[in-house]
Amino acid sequence: MPSAAKKLVIVPNDQPAADTPEAIEVVEVSEAEVVVEAVTHEAPGEPAARPDELRLLEALLFAAGEPLDEATLSRPLPVGVNLKEALAALQAEYATRGVNLVKIGRKWTFRTAGDLSWLLTKNTVETRKLSRAAIETLAIIAYHQPVTRAEIEEVRGVQAAAGTLDVLLKTGWIRPRGRRKAPGRPITYGTTEVFLSHFGLEEVADLPGLDELKGAGLLDGNLPSGFGVPIPSDDSTLRDDEDPLEPGDLDLGLAPAPEAQVEGDVVAAEAAPAAAEPEEK
């Protein structure tokens, strides 16, 4: 805090008040002269210099793109400086600021203060389109459930990529129902309530039939004789040719968590290029 020095100034009694210096206080008045007290302020002093080791550590940590270990931090410090004490002092100095000095494993870095992290959090919804293979697979499951992967491939006429069913499982639109009582006991798939909610259906039987699909231009007019669209059913009761899933199936992640949901128009990402299906001929 700046110090103040006082001095007494004697001015003639007939000197106008406007000629007296500012910050002057009259302390005594006589016929011949006026004794006044003036207060002068010294210029503020320079801020106390910070220790060089703290400034060096601060510069290193702010410039680094990743946390730094103590060996790296100790190299530029003057000889005889205790690194741990210097880091503790710097950590205490930043404890009440918007960024804090934190230790991650054996390394040090600056991080946003925990109580301010919510200000920097931004939630975004990324909308992506399903691949053609995923859309076709979803339609086959919806109309033919319960259906196995081999049966899906038979309807599509092309081998299914490993990632296609995974994408649909992540959306929560399909679920593993059980295992087919057949060699290899393949998983059977069906749709979920999330599927109905997303597409605005009261029940899966409300899916468009043959005439509606033709009217919408989704089917070729020259269909083979006897072609028909099955009446879908999503009855959760296992059929006679299905066995219930085993605990090991859940451990492998084949069945999604019961609380899995899809919000709004969020659609799962397409399968990775490495899992792309062969082009249909």
Question: ∠ CA(31), CA(32), CA(34), 5° rounding?
Answer: 85
In this prediction, residue 262 carries a pLDDT of 40
Question: ∠ CA(174), CA(180), CA(183), 5° rounding?
Answer: 135
Shared domain for 146 and 241, answered yes or no, is yes
Assess if residue 23 is contained within a domain: yes
pLDDT tens-digit profile of 14-48?
555 555 554 444 444 454 444 444 444 445 556 66
Judged by DSSP in three states, 178 sits in: strand
Shared domain for 91 and 155, answered yes or no, is no
For the ranges 5-19, 20-34, 65-79, the lowest mean pLDDT is seen at 20-34
More confident residue, 150 or 213: 150
Confidence at 253, pLDDT banded by 50, 70, 90: low
Shared domain for 12 and 93, answered yes or no, is no
Share of the chain above pLDDT 70, in %: 66
**If you average pLDDT over residues 63-89, what whole number do you get?**
90
Shared domain for 267 and 138, answered yes or no, is yes
Shared domain for 114 and 36, answered yes or no, is no
Shared domain for 75 and 32, answered yes or no, is no
Shared domain for 163 and 183, answered yes or no, is yes
Assess if residue 236 is contained within a domain: yes
Domain that holds residue 72: 52-120
**Cα(23)–Cα(6) distance, rounded to whole angstroms?**
10
Report residue 198 CA to chain centroid gap.
Answer: 24
Where does a domain end: 78, 99, 120? 120
Count of domains for the chain = 3
Shared domain for 102 and 219, answered yes or no, is no
Bridge partner residues of 139 (DSSP): none
Shared domain for 224 and 263, answered yes or no, is yes
Assess if residue 46 is contained within a domain: no
**Cα(278)–Cα(281) distance, rounded to whole angstroms?**
9
The CATH number linked to 137 is 1.10.10.10
Assess if residue 280 is contained within a domain: no
Shared domain for 156 and 188, answered yes or no, is yes
Question: ∠ CA(68), CA(72), CA(78), 5° rounding?
Answer: 125
Shared domain for 150 and 258, answered yes or no, is yes
Where does a domain end: 120, 149, 178? 120
Shared domain for 220 and 188, answered yes or no, is yes
